[in-house]
C-alpha cells in the first residue's frame, strides 16, 4: 500500500480510491466492457483542457486510437447550480473574499468518492498541519456511517 503510483506522484497506492464491492469480478468485468466499448467509439470527449493534461491526453491517444476532444473549462460557461445535483452552498464566499489571492487550499472529493472516518481525520490533520487557509467540501454521504 506504500508503493508509489508512478503515473501520479506523489500519491501512493493507498491514496487511490478503491471500489468497495462484494463482487470484485463483476466490477472487473464491467471495467473491461467499458474499455472495450470505449475503443469502439468514434471519439472521446473529456471535461478538461489540453494545457492542463497534455501528457495524459497523449497517453490516452495511444491506448484509444480515436480522436480525443478536450472541451473543458465548463465552469467558465455554466454556473455550478446548473450542472450539479447538490444545492450550492455560498456561505463561504464572504470568508474567501477576505483571503489573499491564490492562498486557499481547495479540497473536494466530488460526488462519488467515499471514505472512512479515520481517512477523514487524516485529511483534516494534514490540512490543519499545513498551516494554510483551506476550504474543504464535506458533502453528506462522504464518510461511511456519518451524515
Successive 10-residue mean pLDDT values, the chain, 147 residues: 77 74 83 87 85 85 85 66 66 93 90 86 95 92 84
| pLDDT recorded at residue 119 | 92
Residue 21 region by backbone torsions, left for phi larger than 0, else alpha for psi between -120 and 50, else beta: beta
Q: Are 35 and 63 in contact (CB under 8 A)?
A: no
**Run of H or E residues at 127:** helix 117-129
Which of 7, 14, 6, 16 minimizes the C-alpha distance to 113?
Answer: 16
Evaluate if pTM is beyond 0.75: no
pLDDT for 73 equals 67
Q: Residue 93, preceding bond cis, omega within 30 degrees?
A: no
Q: What is the DSSP letter of 3?
A: S
Amino acid at each position: 500500500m506504500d508503493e508509489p503510483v508512478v503515473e501520479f506522484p506523489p500519491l501512493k497506492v493507498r491514496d487511490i480510491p478503491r471500489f468497495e464491492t462484494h463482487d470484485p469480478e463483476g466490477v472487473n468485468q464491467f471495467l473491461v466492457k467499458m474499455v472495450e466499448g470505449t475503443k469502439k467509439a468514434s471519439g472521446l470527449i473529456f471535461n478538461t483542457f489540453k494545457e492542463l493534461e497534455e501528457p495524459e491526453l497523449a497517453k490516452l491517444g495511444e491506448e484509444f486510437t480515436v480522436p480525443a476532444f478536450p472541451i473543458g473549462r465548463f465552469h467558465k460557461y455554466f454556473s455550478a447550480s446548473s450542472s450539479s445535483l447538490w444545492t450550492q452552498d455560498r456561505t463561504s464566499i464572504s470568508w474567501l473574499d477576505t483571503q489573499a489571492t491564490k492562498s486557499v487550499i481547495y479540497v473536494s472529493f466530488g460526488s462519488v468518492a467515499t471514505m472512512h472516518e479515520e481517512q477523514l481525520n487524516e485529511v483534516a490533520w494534514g490540512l490543519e498541519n499545513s498551516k494554510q487557509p483551506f476550504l474543504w467540501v464535506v458533502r453528506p454521504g462522504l464518510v461511511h456511517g456519518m451524515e
